[in-house]
């Protein structure tokens, strides 16, 4: 079943959506005000401290700058090696034309140099069209979004809290005995409800690894704005 909103005597209640005339939902109604309060607690538990976010963003940007600098150095070295191989090929051809080397030796050495040239060119092309840095933008967007959860939990509208909760918990969000429950999706699940049990650097490394593995397709919302209609939780499951 799913949860749907129903207005009674000026108040909005949430209940199971009946999809079967035979099977009834045993869950009780929950008022919107109580659901909002519970969602606020859940969102607050997954908010990122602002100072942590600032430090993590600085670490990510510095690390990417260092990687880019190293990548440029390596690319320059590869181009120098490629130029040397091309020069060797030209010199080998000149030697062969001058008949200072036999055909069999010429072909053997040429084959080795051609293989080396191809490998270097492919490596250079891969560096120029690689995905280095594609993780940084989604990572930054997540950090900035996670920093807003506490504020949304405090002053966000009920619709906004429901929409953001749907993004953080996805289909894992459900009602059980008038209690909103659910496990957060990654990368939100990396944030503990008790931040005192977390350390900033390990959290940064774990989050960075997640975003590096996903590249630019992390699925994390670009922003969590403080306005908008939001979700009415029409498709959130309900325990029987």
Whether 228 is covered by a domain: the verdict is no
The two three-digit tokens of residue 175, written as one number: 């009602």
Q: What is the mean pLDDT of residues 54-64?
A: 90
Whether 201 is covered by a domain: the verdict is yes
pLDDT-derived band at 104 (thresholds 50, 70, 90) equals very high
Q: 128, 150, 178 — which closes off a domain?
A: 128
For residues 92 and 76, membership in a common domain is answered with: yes
Q: What is the mean pLDDT of residues 111-128?
A: 88
The DSSP output letter for 228 is: S
Q: How many domains does the chain have?
A: 2
pLDDT-derived band at 90 (thresholds 50, 70, 90) equals very high
The DSSP output letter for 129 is: T
Alpha carbon distance 57, 121 (integer Å): 34
pLDDT-derived band at 17 (thresholds 50, 70, 90) equals low
Residues in Cβ contact with 48 at an 8 Å cutoff, skipping those fewer than 6 apart? 143, 146, 147, 149, 191
Q: pTM for the whole thing? A: 0.62
pLDDT-derived band at 73 (thresholds 50, 70, 90) equals confident
pLDDT at residue 95 tops 90: yes
For residues 75 and 32, membership in a common domain is answered with: no
The long-range contacts involving 164-168, CB below 8 angstroms and separated by at least 24 positions, are 164/43, 164/224, 164/230, 165/39, 165/42, 165/43, 165/233, 166/231, 166/233, 166/236, 167/221, 167/224, 168/42, 168/43, 168/46
Alpha carbon distance 70, 64 (integer Å): 10
For residues 41 and 144, membership in a common domain is answered with: yes
8 A C-beta contact, residue 182 and residue 35? no
pLDDT at residue 230 tops 50: no
Q: 128, 149, 184 — which closes off a domain?
A: 128
For residues 38 and 151, membership in a common domain is answered with: yes
Alpha carbon distance 19, 234 (integer Å): 13
**Domain enclosing residue 68, as ranges:** 61-128
Whether 143 is covered by a domain: the verdict is yes
The predicted pLDDT at position 1 comes to: 34
Whether 118 is covered by a domain: the verdict is yes
E-strand ranges in 73-199 read 174-176, 179-181
């Amino acid at each position: 079943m799913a949860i749907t909103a129903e207005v009674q005597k000026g108040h909005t209640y949430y209940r199971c959506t009946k999809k079967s005339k035979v099977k009834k939902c045993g869950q009780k109604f929950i008022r919107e005000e109580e659901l909002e309060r519970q969602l606020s607690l859940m969102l607050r538990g997954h908010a990122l401290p602002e100072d942590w976010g600032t430090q993590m963003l600085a670490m990510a940007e510095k690390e990417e700058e260092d990687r880019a600098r190293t990548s440029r150095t390596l690319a320059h070295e590869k181009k120098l090696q490629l130029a040397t191989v091309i020069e060797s090929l030209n010199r080998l051809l000149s030697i062969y034309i001058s008949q200072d080397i036999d055909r069999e030796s010429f072909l053997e050495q040429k084959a080795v140099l051609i293989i080396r040239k191809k490998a270097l060119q492919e490596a250079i092309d891969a560096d120029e069209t690689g995905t280095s840095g594609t993780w940084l933008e989604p990572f930054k967007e997540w950090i900035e979004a996670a920093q807003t959860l506490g504020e949304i939990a405090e002053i966000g509208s009920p619709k906004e809290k429901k929409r953001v909760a749907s993004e953080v918990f996805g289909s894992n969000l459900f009602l059980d005995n008038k209690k909103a429950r659910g496990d957060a999706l990654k990368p939100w699940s990396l944030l503990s409800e008790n931040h005192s049990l977390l350390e900033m650097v390990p959290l940064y490394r774990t989050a960075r690894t997640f975003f590096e593995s996903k590249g630019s397709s992390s699925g994390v919302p670009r922003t969590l704005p403080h306005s908008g209609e939001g979700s009415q939780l029409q498709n959130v499951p309900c325990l029987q």
